[in-house]
């Protein structure tokens, strides 16, 4: 079977990071981020186009400077459970923090979504970017990098153990014999680790796909290593074609080093395509979008998120970039460290750093449908991606991509013409994980 591209949809409602002007667009409902019908419509459109998944991001801290979508949005698992009842094939991937959740509770919630959807759930594991989240959970400070990533690894291991509490044939439900459960097929976890002590078992059986699919967005060394060890899908940073190639090769190599099949980890890069009837019209629209979103105060606030939602507005904009390295250590360390290094090397002011972060950058996925399809094919063949996580400003832009680009990719044999399965794993080409207890008993019996 030839390798094909995977596509996911990433809806942002009234506007995510950097999309300061999106909420003003008359085609975007001002309550889109809390309107379940908006998400259902988006999911149905993506499913009609045979997309692999709907991906919902999340964070648990805000202040008044945060992006419009972040200020007023639905909790991911509640949202996706509602969407599940209106769709049949598209995967449903929700973001949830391993730093600010309990493994038993979260494992149960994702397993519930997996059952509600018939095996289409995915969990995007994050360690929480926003340092202020700690204050919403009774903690004075955000956990450091090493602790958060160590906790994340153990959290995923515990969740997977809980998802294996019941073997697949644990419920004979034999009325004649009066046997509903085979108790030999129910297993306690009895986990005792550095961060968690959890007995189990989980009071929910396995779904048609065995376990929810694990996603992760690894950028730092710790993040890449965690992704290579546990992730089955990755949301990659993208960047230039060369940067995407290097990231792709690095993750696949790390995955193999842990004894895993590199084909069993699907790398999605971010893509915000701009499609129009001609290349020139698309490029004009790309520039218009930049101007719609180009708000200096908003960009300054966005810069602060990398430093624990730090408020830079009290500093002299034309003075040297302030010494805030200590604020980056527990926040967006990797990106923040690069900003600090560049600011020092080039002697940049705070204003110059804020402007450079938000300066106009041309996207590779802009043009007429054929041009965008050509670029996607080029990147795919160059070893930069297994899929693209697509974000569109409004429904019209989604339709332009679906009606214009998708048919070209299909004609070239690069994208499916029908769903291969009813589960997220099946459509991503990922194996159903064997129940560890069944596997262990099989080894003993053999």
Candidate from 81-85, 90-94, 320-324 with smallest mean pLDDT: 320-324
Residue that has been written with the tokens 């990071």 in this structure: 17
Average pLDDT over residues 318-345: 81
Tokens representing residue 261 in the block: 């099949």
Taking the C-alpha atoms of 101, 107, 111 and 117 in order, what is their torsion angle to the nearest 10 degrees?
A: 30
CATH class entry, domain 6-279+362-440: alpha beta
Percentage of the chain exceeding pLDDT 90: 81
Return d(Cα 359, Cα 345) in angstroms, integer: 19
Q: Over range 26-35, report the average pLDDT.
A: 96
What is residue 330's predicted lDDT score, i.e. its pLDDT? 60
* Cα Rg of the chain (Å, integer): 23
Residue with the bigger pLDDT between 258 and 304: it is 258
pLDDT for residue 406: 98
- Give the distance, in angstroms, between the CA of residue 143 and the centroid of all CA atoms in the same chain: 21
pLDDT of residue 333: 67
For the chain, the structural domain boundaries read 6-279+362-440, 295-357
Question: Is 311 flagged in the annotation as binding?
Answer: no
**Mean local confidence (pLDDT), 57-76:** 94
DSSP SS3 for 184: helix
Most confident listed range (92-96, 334-338, 356-360): 92-96
pLDDT for 445: 42
Three-state DSSP state, 163? helix
Q: What's the rounded mean pLDDT across residues 150-169?
A: 97
**Amino acid 209: pLDDT:** 97
pLDDT the model gives residue 329: 66
pLDDT-based confidence at residue 132 (cuts at 50, 70, 90)? confident
Q: How confident is the model at residue 87 (pLDDT cuts 50, 70, 90)?
A: very high
225-273: per-residue pLDDT in tens?
A: 999 999 999 999 888 999 999 999 999 999 999 999 999 999 999 999 9
Give Cα 224 to chain centroid, integer Å.
14
Please give the mean pLDDT across all residues of the chain. 93
Least confident of 158-162, 262-266, 358-362: 358-362
- Find out whether 58 is annotated in a ligand binding site: yes
Give me the count of residues in the chain: 446
* % pLDDT > 70, the chain: 98
State yes or no: 81 annotated in a binding site. Answer: no
Separation CA 34–CA 265 (nearest Å):
32
Over range 109-134, report the average pLDDT. 94
pLDDT of residue 395: 94
φ, ψ dihedrals at 349, nearest 5°: -85, 170
Rounded to an integer, the average pLDDT of 354-383 is 94
Give the closest residue to 55 by CA, choosing from 217, 163, 204: 217
**pLDDT at position 325, please?**
81
Instruction: Evaluate whether 208 touches 422 at the Cβ level (below 8 Å).
Output: yes
- Going by C-beta distance under 8 Å and a sequence separation of 6 or more, which residues neighbour residue 385? 5, 236, 244, 248, 267, 268, 269, 379
Q: Is 149 annotated as a binding residue?
A: yes
Residues whose CB is less than 8 angstroms from the CB of residue 266 and which lie 6 or more positions away in sequence, other chains included = 6, 232, 233, 234, 386, 387, 428, 429, 430
Confidence (pLDDT) at 418: 98
**Quick one: average pLDDT of 90-95?**
98
Higher pLDDT, 167 or 146: 167
């Amino acid at each position: 079977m030839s390798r094909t591209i995977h596509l996911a949809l990433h809806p942002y409602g009234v506007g995510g990071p950097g999309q300061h002007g999106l909420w003003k667009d008359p085609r975007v409902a001002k309550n889109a981020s809390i309107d379940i019908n908006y998400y259902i419509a988006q999911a149905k459109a993506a499913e009609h186009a045979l997309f692999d998944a709907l991906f919902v991001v999340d964070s648990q801290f805000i202040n008044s400077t945060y992006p419009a979508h972040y200020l007023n949005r639905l909790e991911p698992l509640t949202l996706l459970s509602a969407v599940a009842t209106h769709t049949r094939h598209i995967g449903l991937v929700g973001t949830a923090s391993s730093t600010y959740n309990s493994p038993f509770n979260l494992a149960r919630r994702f397993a519930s979504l997996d059952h509600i959807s018939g095996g289409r759930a995915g969990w995007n594991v994050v360690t929480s970017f926003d340092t202020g989240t700690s204050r919403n959970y009774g903690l004075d400070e955000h956990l450091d990098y090493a602790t958060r990533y160590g906790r994340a690894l153990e959290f995923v291991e515990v969740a997977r153990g809980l998802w294996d509490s019941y073997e697949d044939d644990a419920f004979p439900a034999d009325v004649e014999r009066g046997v509903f459960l085979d108790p030999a097929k129910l297993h306690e976890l009895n986990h005792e680790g550095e961060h968690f002590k959890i007995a189990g078992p989980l009071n929910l059986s396995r779904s048609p796909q065995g376990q929810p699919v694990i996603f992760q967005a690894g950028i730092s060394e710790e993040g890449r290593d965690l992704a290579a060890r546990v992730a089955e899908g990755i949301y990659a940073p993208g960047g230039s074609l060369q940067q995407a190639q290097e990231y792709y090769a690095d993750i696949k190599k790390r995955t193999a080093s842990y004894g895993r099949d590199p084909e069993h980890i699907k790398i999605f890069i971010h893509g915000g395509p701009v499609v129009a009837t001609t290349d020139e019209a698309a490029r004009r629209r790309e520039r218009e979008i930049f101007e719609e979103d180009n708000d200096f105060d908003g960009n300054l606030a966005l810069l602060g998120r990398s430093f624990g939602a730090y408020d830079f507005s009290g500093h002299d904009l034309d003075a040297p970039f302030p010494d805030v390295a200590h604020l980056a250590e527990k926040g967006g360390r990797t990106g923040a460290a690069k900003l600090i290094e560049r600011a020092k090397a080039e002697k940049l002011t705070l204003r110059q750093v804020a402007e450079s972060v938000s300066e106009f950058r041309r996207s590779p996925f802009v043009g007429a449908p054929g041009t965008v399809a050509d670029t996607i094919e080029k990147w795919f063949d160059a070893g930069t991606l297994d899929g693209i996580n697509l974000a569109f400003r409004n429904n019209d832009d989604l339709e332009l991509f679906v009606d214009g680009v998708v048919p070209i990719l299909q004609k070239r044999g690069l994208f499916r013409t029908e769903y291969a399965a009813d589960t997220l794993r099946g459509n991503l080409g990922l194996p159903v994980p064997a129940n560890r207890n069944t596997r262990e008993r099989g080894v003993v019996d053999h």
